[in-house]
Amino acid sequence: MAHLILASSSPRRRELLQQLGLNFDIFSPDIDESVHEGESVADYVERLARAKAQAVQDEYPDAIVIAADTSLSVDHHILGKPESKQHAFEMWQLISGRKHDVYSGVCVRTKQQICSIVVRTQVEFQSLSLDDMESYWATGEPIGKAGAYAIQGIAARYIPCIEGSYSNVVGLPLYETVQLLQTVKALN
């Protein structure tokens, strides 16, 4: 197999990709992650995944690049990573006691092909009290996580059910990633 690169510094994406038994390197590109005016969350995550893949492909033209971006959506709001404790609390107030959608855009790119997909998973979150929020924030886990939570960590206690791909909520939908790799003939 050709040189495989994961275009992400996320330890969660690295761990998920390792589950597939693949050998890969990591190169995290620096791209503008601003949301465009009127952009849907699905368009946003796909655009960012494609931009990350392009940036890495420019550096390593012979590589097969896997890039992803994950964000949440509730009431047409895109929820990315918290910028502060207050921002995390605002996000939790939006998702508390209700369902929200987690979207990941995944792009697999070679110099000959570009394949991408958007995967959606619905997550139900229990109602959070102020004490729940304070306690969860104090763990440090919400920092750097889309929606200010990690389903694979302590936040699992607040999530009664999901509909769709668990690995998508963690940050890289594995089934769909394998399908994209097979499409570009990176896997047999």
Cβ partners under 8 Å of residue 79, min gap 6:
71, 72, 73, 91, 94, 95, 100, 146, 147, 148
Please compute Rg for the chain using Cα positions: 17
Q: Which of 30, 32, 69, 132 is catalytic?
A: 69
Q: Which pairs count as long-range contacts for 112-117, CB under 8 Å and 24+ apart, including other chains? A: 112/184, 113/183, 113/184, 114/50, 114/53, 115/180, 115/183, 115/184, 116/46, 116/49, 116/50, 116/53, 116/180, 117/46, 117/176, 117/179, 117/180
Helix (H) or strand (E) holding 176: helix 174-183
Q: Cα separation of 133 and 117, whole Å?
A: 33
Active site residue 69: yes
Q: Residue type at 108?
A: V
Residues labelled as active-site residues: 69
